[in-house]
Structure 1
Amino acid sequence: MDLSIISRTGGPVLFWRGPDFDRLDLTGPVVANWVNKGVGLFGDYDLGPDFTLFVPMPAGLHWRELVAILSVLLADGRVVLGTDAQASGSAAPDADFHAFVPLGHEDDESLTAAEEIFVYNPPALALSTPIDEDFIDVNSAIRAYPDVTPRRLQSTGTLLVGDQEIQWTESPNDSSSGILVSNSTPRPEEWATFLCHLLRGGESLLANGMDDGGMTDLASSLGEVRGRLGSWTK
């Protein structure tokens, strides 16, 4: 898998709904562009087989974290996801790593050994992140990179949730039909379905902080629901 399908998919493929009525609808080419920009950003820090990105997701999966995850996985890097989406303190990798966190979590104790800490500002359209020079402002820095990359991107990266390696390129159902709905963070066994669906141009609704009633109403307004991921099970 790579970006060849999603980059040619018209219409929104990722519907982001965050706290405080934060929303963003991303088309396939736009998602591909953000992933390419992420490859450029992390490329300046030696993105490749020896690059590990720790994404603890203390507030649940955000669309910027999803872009970062795909950027590293498609450029032969290693991603380690946190195991507790509701609290800080997920165990960081033992080896050298970089970290990717939302504003307000850059000083978490689990990140003290990180080589670099990339910090993003959660509001969907925030252009910068108010942090000091010890950290990397993702919102501002990533916009400087091109929408395309000269690298050959393919699904050669490694994905771990805690200590569990996820065979993320092997989805049990490769259909892109219907909408996948994820309330906050997919469970470990759901990541392959989620990433394969998105990269094949399938529509996904990613929400954070929305109650079950709101999820039900929104999902039904977007179309036929193919499956539910994460904490939303009703």
Structure 2
Amino acid sequence: MDRSVNTPEKLLHAFRTDNPTAPRLTWYGPDSERVEFSGRVLDNWVAKTANYLVDELDAEPGTVVALHLPLHWRSMVWLLATWAVGAKAVTVPGTTISSTTDAPGADAETHRWAELAANADILATAWPDVAHTHLTGAKSDLLVVAVALPALQMRWMSELPPRTLDYSGDVRSHADVFFADSAADSQDVAWQHHSTGTSECTTTYAALLTPGAELLSVPHIPLPLAPQRVLLHVRDGWDAVVRDALSIWAAGGSIVLLADGVADTPALRASEQITLG
């Protein structure tokens, strides 16, 4: 990891200035979807989303942004944008809050939703109908934002529940450059998440981009790490994928992220010029 890239702000600056036309994030999703972002384009998406968070949702340092999203290129953008603002991101693993209304363990599910509603200021969700069902009666100032996942979907295509905002329909009108009015303290919580086999844990802003951090899903790779093209899998979970991505990006590298169900083939590795993973 480049020791100078030790904050989200410096990482986004590196996207803009360190070989900005080179790929930084490539996504393989369902239905043969492939989306690639250069550093400049990835920074552009993060800036628009950060401006959306501030201008439309009044986000600031200390705001709690809950992500009821799958691991996806859009959720990576939301994470980076939340950290650009200085807010706290809460990622919700799929086994904790489901994308269906008829999941087993209904009592525990109801409790988790109630806890989320009580603590979050903003909820970004790929399943707004499910969120609306569970959040009926929640505190009135919780802002719910529908996030359409397909890359070419310019707005939410069906009717949204009451008081639900359309991220995809609104974000493109926001500025391509983000300037934070204030910054989070280094000891503020940046990310509340779950590690494999552990209970909930938190990561401070100081620890997000820590030199010498180990890659979790590719444990045989030591750091510091020269720029590499690294294959990551959604199946490895939020903790591993996000930590690996941050380490790889800080070292000047790029990631190829495969959704569940996308085959890891020699042809894909060759075409994407994978060097690690």
TM bracket (short chain): 0.7 to 0.9
Report what 1:232 is aligned to. Answer: none
CA contact (8 A) 2:66 2:91 kept: yes
Match in the other structure for 1:161: 193
Letter of the aligned partner of 2:178 in structure 1? Answer: T
1:208 aligned residue (255, 259, 271): 259
C-alpha change, 1:15 and 1:189, in structure 2 (3 Å) is: closer
Aligned length: 223
The one-letter amino acid of 2:122's match is: H
Q: Does 1:180 align with 2:230?
A: yes
In structure 2, what is the equivalent of residue 5 of structure 1?
A: 14
Alignment-mate amino acid for residue 100 of structure 1? A
Alpha-carbon contact 2:123-2:145 (below 8 Å) kept: yes
Identity %: 19
Stretch moving more, 201-210 or 72-81? 201-210
Give 1:121's aligned residue.
148
The normalised TM-score by structure 1 is 0.82
Alignment gaps of 5+ in structure 2: 1-6, 100-108, 195-199, 215-222
Q: Secondary structure at the match of 1:136?
A: strand
Alpha-carbon distance in 2 for matches of 1:36, 1:210: 30
- Report how far residue 7 of structure 1 moved: 1.1
- Pick aligned residue for 1:51 from 46, 58, 63: 63
CA distance in 2, matches of 1:187, 1:36: 22
Distance 1:152 1:198, change over 3 A: farther
Give yes or no for the alignment of 1:64 onto 2:87.
no
1:191 is aligned to: 242
Correspondence for 2:93 among 80, 83, 95: 83
More helix by share: 2
Unpaired runs of at least 5, structure 1: 228-234
Q: Which has the larger radius of gyration?
A: 2
CA distance in 2 between counterparts of 1:37 and 1:150 reads: 11
Q: CA deviation at 1:77?
A: 0.3
Which residues of 2 match residues 92-107 of structure 1 at below 5 A?
92=113, 93=116, 94-102=118-126, 104-107=127-130
Kept in 1, the 8 Å contact 2:35–2:151? The answer is yes
The superposition leaves residues 69-91 of structure 1 with CA deviations (integer Å, 9 ceiling, x where unpaired) of: 10011221000011236943594
TM-score, reference length from structure 2 = 0.70
Distance 1:201 1:140, change over 3 A: farther
Residues 65, 12 of structure 1: CA spacing in aligned structure 2 closer, same or farther, 3 A cutoff? same
Deviates more, 1:2-11 or 1:171-180: 171-180
For 1:16-56, what per-residue CA distance to the aligned partner results, in whole angstroms no more than 9, with x for missing partners?
A: 11100111111100000110001110002222222111113
Answer whether contact 1:52 1:78 (CA < 8 A) is retained: yes
- Say what the alpha-carbon RMSD is for the aligned residues: 2.7
Structure 2 residue aligned with 1:231: none
